[in-house]
Chain A
Amino acid sequence: MTIVKMKTKPKVLVLKADGINRDEELAFSFEISGGDAKIVHINDLRNGREKLKNYHILALPGGFAYGDDIASGKILAVELTSFFTEELKQFISRKDTAVLGVCNGFQTLVRTGILPFRNIGKMDAILTNNDSGRFECRWVPVKVEKNSRCVFLENMPDEIMHYPVAHGEGKFFAEPEVLQKIEREHLVAFRYTDKHGDPTLTYPNNPNGSINAIMGVTDKTGSVLGLMPHPECFTRREQHPNWRRMPSLKPQGLPLFKNIIDYVKKA
């Protein structure tokens, strides 16, 4: 296997497929964090014009891949596992790579089986309908999980941050034994919190009813991350609804992207 030599900027493949619609802001967030991002249509991977192995970061954006028909991210997950199982395995086994799935991308990663246990082709958990029964777009308080295995969380503040959610199927759910394993292995990366910063199961701060308030999940290496909110929509301070009330506010999604870039650069 050939490993691409690291130039100054890590190469980011932002995956595009029918119905994906948050590719541009995701690419922008990697760009301003020092990445060289390219939006690549899955058809160009299928026809060989583009190769996953030529990249360092695979980013799955939000949207409604193939309309989220049948279930969110399902059709794209089936396409990925049908045609790219080997390439994905090789990619995630490299030491200099990272994978990020946001919202629909997280749903897709879970439905491919990559998250949480790297069982490509076998689902261990699901993201299902919000308990509220509806799509909701708003900002929620979240917190980085201490002791998480995720390797992108260095120097992220140990305090409440705010990220926007925009989804109808974001409830993380798994069997008790699966859940125990996720907790035992420290695969939770973020949780929804109440106003004191404690994990919460209560609506609206937990916007979808995710068990254990799970907002984001990583794998055993910590280099694959999926999360429901949109850190890529908080990489400029003006994106926050109350930046005018908060003179010292910094964009709280930005450190995550910088950390991902730093991680693959250091590797």
Chain B
Amino acid sequence: MIHTIRVKTSRGPDIQGEGVLHDIRSVLKINSIQKVETASVYRLEGISKLQAKKLAEILFCEKINQAYSLNKPFAKKSSTVFEVGYKPGVMNPQVTSIIKSARDLGINITTADTSIEYEFHGQAKKQEVKEILEKLHLLNDTIQHIVMEEPKTLLTKGTAGKTTIIPIRKMNNSELLALSKDKLFLNLDELHIVKKYFVKIKRNPTDCELETIAQAWSEHCVHKTFKANLIIDGKKKKPLIQRIKEEALKHNKNIVSAFVDNSGVMDFYDGFAICGKVETHNSPSAIEPYGGAMTGSGGVFRDVLGTGLGAKCIASTDIFCFAHPNMNPSLLPNGCLPPDYLLKRVVAGVRDYGNRVGIPTNNGSVHFHNDFRAKPTVVVGAYGILPKKKAKKGRPKIGDVIVCVGGKTGRDGIHGATFSSGEMTEKTSSINSSAVQIGNAIEEKGMFDAILEAQRQNCIRAIQDCGAGGFSSAIGEIGQSQGVSVYLDKVSLKYKGLAPWEIWVSESQERMILAIPFKNLKQFLNICKLFNVQASILGKFDGSKKLQVYFRKKSVCNLDMKFLHHGLPQRIMRAKKNTSDEPIQSPRRWPDGLLRGKLISENEWIAVLERVLSHGNIASKEQIARLYDHSVGGTNDLQSYSGEELDSPNDAVVIRPILNKEFGMVISHGLNPVLNAIDPYWGSIWASAEALANYTAVGGDYKNASLINNYIWPFPDEESLWSLDKSVDAVVDIMKKLKIPVISGKDSLSSTYRGKDGAVIKIPPVLCMSVFGKIPNTSKTITSDFKKENSSFVLVGKMDFSRMGGSIYYETQEIRHGEVPHVDLEILPKTLTRIYRGIVQGKILSCHDISEGGLITALFEMCIGGGMGATIHLRGGRMDSSEVNHPEAFLFNETAGCFIVEVEHESTAKNLFTDVPFLMLGKTTKEKLITVQRNNRKMFSADVALLKKVWQEPMKKLFP
């Protein structure tokens, strides 16, 4: 029998209920609901009523401000009640805690479940209330359901599914394609290779074998496009990955390991190395943003943990691209979730995972463009530290034991790898709902602690994270050189009823695969026990060079490792420039629509500036940053927001991973999808220069930095592959000119949406460039806020004033053409070097890089932090004639790799910037006004506090 305990707030505000009521009134504009109450519902199976009562009183209900009911509803007849719970089979992280705590109290529960009850008071009918639930997304059909009647049991029953033989040897083309559709995501050529293999070995495959091949050959896991030989506009080119690697390995001064492990590793100080990995989690986040973002964080943290013989994760970053939150809802394709909901829920997922696992979320950004409406981009970065002598990927030996550590295996997340390699269609959210998982950060944290302890005690031979593709991928990879025997009945399952292939490819979260030498096994298992971490011995490395998987003594998979990992032939892919688009409106320097230095009134100038500052890309993201724990660990030596009122943004992360040592790590990133859509080469140069400028602006030394490149692109048809190729060219050129390597990266080439009506939506391609590296002393770093009144501020670097394409200024003025700014790659390294030296020498008081919104935006952000104002003097005959002729271009141009720098005296700037262009802009003022003078006549003077309000408003609305 099940006992049901309901707990609600009896004193003080029911915060959750009030929040729902607020949304009903302010978002849905419905006034028929007077009050919303919520209750937590706990269902307990396998105990007596008396025991349930004891638990209610000691564990579930705190009588100071709560009341409970046992086996009867709270609700009155006049109200409408909906109970929202997880669907059977979706992991509910609370259950483990409930069972544990009851056991601590001497009560053994068989199993438990929890849900939330919403009680609506008012005139609304049941159907109306249900619509409220749906419109406010209090119910996500993918993972939740409305509990209609009291369940009879909470146990998920089932008998193990069977293994099916697939008669692939006899299949014709259409049968092969039918087999692949919505499941294997392999193309016809690949299916024929599979067919040929089984014809050769004279038998048909099992479902488990086909799933294994599909997973191993998925774009997500094998990066077919990046490895392909290319023919671009009729000319042969080397594969993308080869070009990146060849250039990167020329700059190997700091490389410890690149392109071979779960993250890229570089040298640090005192016998340590640092590592970084950046991942995307776009497809799951599009259909279940909360769970998707959580598992995105969980996955990339495990990538860091699974580096070398185990690295400690010390920082994370989050970068999102969505449609504008205020986009006209009619533009939203069927089957897609609205952008404001996606943003809020992705942020909530990042918050709840990162905060709980105790890894600071130090840095991030949000970008808006309506072509992200069908497929958002969710990028998560994680960074770690480990002893240098344990930083190389381990190699299992024959006789080593395969141990799975962490969470149990369920049906959640099946087909994640193959699913994320497919394009999104209207059907995506219903067919692939099992691809979504809910993370359990606490389980992950325990696993981290156990594995790092095992690393310290030298127990581990090799380690592999269990991410996309589940065991199939993790064991397939770690066992590649030796061969393995795996026994699936040893896997600890969440519930019965899984077929062997499902166990094999399940992407249940919070699991790692380790190779443990037999002599260390007992010691290792004891460590796991101490940290309450489950460990299962799944098999051994046997030297067979085969992937042999058994279930109840029957073979369910027996494949040659060689075929699995090298059977897929290198592709030849063609690309060409799309010539149907209008050519870029150039070389005409000043397109129509620009103010062209027209005499407009002061108020008009301020209005132009306010439109830029309130654009989603530029608006303050402090409301989001405050939801993330960025202080945990005590390592953070440069907070994301600082200044007089702690609300001015900084450019990068500075952390001190070892608290009693001065040396530190700097992390930054840059991207600009809009520029990439216009010009993938210069857009990608811009993203890289922006990342490096952010890195340098705080005092980072780019010469001791490494790059991580992530390509989030539409499906690689000829046109998109062409732009991808250009982007890779740009990244290679950046490495060449700056003499630093890319040491990690990832591609995600499926951001195309196909609607039933033939509508195709491609995202603006995203190159996200991340930079991380080392500095000898974190106390030689600076923030962006102005430090002194009446000091001088200087523009440093080579601005490309005439190119304004893709700028926020153009977008707000509805100008839709123009070339994107070109960064001068000869001058960039010199500029970065001068800025770094000036900061280390203590001569630069504050520094901010020029980015979206141009120099006036950077200046504004420096003023708010400083609690002061600034006056700019535009004069003729200096760096560029645009300064006086086109002040709007001067103020709003977005050339990356340039800086505004505060120095006490003009002479300091002259001494510092001997070999790079610089321009004295003006002086800081006590008066909190931003004033622009043109040939000594005032163009405008804007109140910093009023501008700040406009700049903070958009995110305050979304995250009140």
Q: Please list the residues of chain A having a beta carbon within 8 angstroms of any beta carbon in chain B.
A: 16, 18-19, 21-22, 24-25, 28-29, 32, 41, 43-44, 62-64, 66-67, 69-71, 74-75, 78-79, 82-83, 123, 125-126, 128-131, 133-139, 164, 166, 173-175, 230, 232-233, 235-236, 238-239, 241-242, 244-245
Contacts and interface: CB of A to CB of B under 8 A. Distances in A.
Interface in B63-103: 64-65, 93-94, 97-98, 100-101
B599 interface: no
A128 B656 contact: no
A238 B642 contact: no
A134 B628 CA distance: 11
A28 B643 contact: no
A256 B880 CA distance: 57
Contact of B633 (A24, A43, A173, A244): A24
Contacts of B644: 242, 245
Given A18-B442, A19-B442, A241-B646, A67 B627 contact: no
B357 interface: yes
B782 A244 contact: yes
B785 interface: yes
A139 B442 contact: no
B619 interface: no
Nearest to A47: B530
Contacts of B58: 78
Contacts of B529: 43
Contacts of A18: 442, 445-446, 531-532
A231 B636 CA distance: 14
Contacts of A41: 530-531
Contacts, number: 165
B824 interface: no
A15 to B, nearest CB: 14
Given A21-B358, A78-B58, A174-B64, A137 B630 contact: yes
A67 B97 contact: yes
A136 B626 CA distance: 5
Contacts of A242: 642-644, 646, 783
Nearest to A71: B62
A242 B97 CA distance: 40
B12 A138 contact: no
Contact of B101 (A66, A135, A233): A66
B345 to A, nearest CB: 14
A21 B16 contact: no
Contacts of B572: none
Contacts of A126: 62, 64-65
Interface string B628-643: 1111111111010111
20 contacts: A18-B442, A19-B442, A22-B632, A25-B659, A32-B660, A41-B531, A64-B442, A67-B93, A67-B97, A67-B440, A70-B98, A75-B97, A75-B101, A78-B59, A135-B355, A135-B627, A139-B646, A166-B355, A166-B629, A233-B634
Contacts of B762: none
Given A19-B356, A43-B530, A67-B441, A74 B634 contact: no
A202 to B, nearest CB: 16
Contacts of A29: 634
The list of the 3 closest CB pairs from A to B, nearest first, reads: A21-B358, A25-B634, A69-B97
A67 B446 contact: no
Contact of B94 (A70, A134, A173): A70
A175 B40 CA distance: 23
A137 B659 CA distance: 20
Interface string B196-218: 00000000000000000000000
A25 B16 contact: no
A69 B94 contact: yes
A25 B785 CA distance: 28
Contacts of B530: 41, 43-44
A18 B532 CA distance: 8
B660 A28 contact: yes
Interface string B356-368: 1110000000000
B632 A21 contact: yes
A173 B12 contact: yes
B833 interface: no
A173 B634 contact: no
A50 B537 CA distance: 29
A59 B733 CA distance: 53
B746 interface: no
A239 B634 contact: yes
A67 B634 contact: no
A70 B66 CA distance: 12
A125 B64 contact: yes
Contacts of A83: 104
A123 B639 contact: no
Nearest to B634: A25
A199 to B, nearest CB: 19
Given A66-B101, A241-B646, A137 B628 contact: yes
Contacts of A164: 631
Contact of B787 (A131, A133, A232, A245): A245
B62 A137 contact: no
B779 to A, nearest CB: 6
Contacts of B532: 18, 43
A123 to B, nearest CB: 6
A42 B64 CA distance: 28
A246 to B, nearest CB: 11
B226 interface: no
A128 B100 contact: no
Q: Among B97, B355, B635, B636, find the residue whose CB has the most chain A CB atoms closer than 10 A.
A: B97
A182 to B, nearest CB: 14
B546 interface: no
A24 B450 CA distance: 15
A75 B660 contact: no
Given A75-B100, A83-B104, A166-B629, A67 B646 contact: no
Contacts of A175: 64
B351 interface: yes
B758 interface: no
B659 A236 contact: yes
Given A71-B62, A123-B62, A236 B634 contact: yes
A66 B105 contact: no
B643 A66 contact: no
A181 to B, nearest CB: 14
B595 interface: no
Contact of A135 (B16, B18, B351, B442): B351
B626 A137 contact: yes
A141 B94 CA distance: 35
A44 B356 CA distance: 23
A53 B406 CA distance: 33
B844 to A, nearest CB: 11
A166 B632 contact: yes
Given A22-B632, A244-B782, A69 B65 contact: no
B659 A64 contact: no
A159 B15 CA distance: 33
B377 interface: no
Nearest to B642: A241
Contacts of B634: 22, 24-25, 28-29, 232-233, 235-236, 239
Contact of B656 (A137, A238, A244): A238
B646 A63 contact: no
A16 B629 CA distance: 19
Interface string B129-152: 000000000000000000000000
B254 to A, nearest CB: 24
Nearest to B622: A138
Interface string B844-865: 0000000000000000000000
Contacts of A67: 93-94, 97, 356, 440-442
Contact of B626 (A70, A133, A138): A138
A238 B94 contact: no
Contacts of B871: none
B627 A131 contact: no
Contacts of A138: 626, 646
A128 B64 CA distance: 10
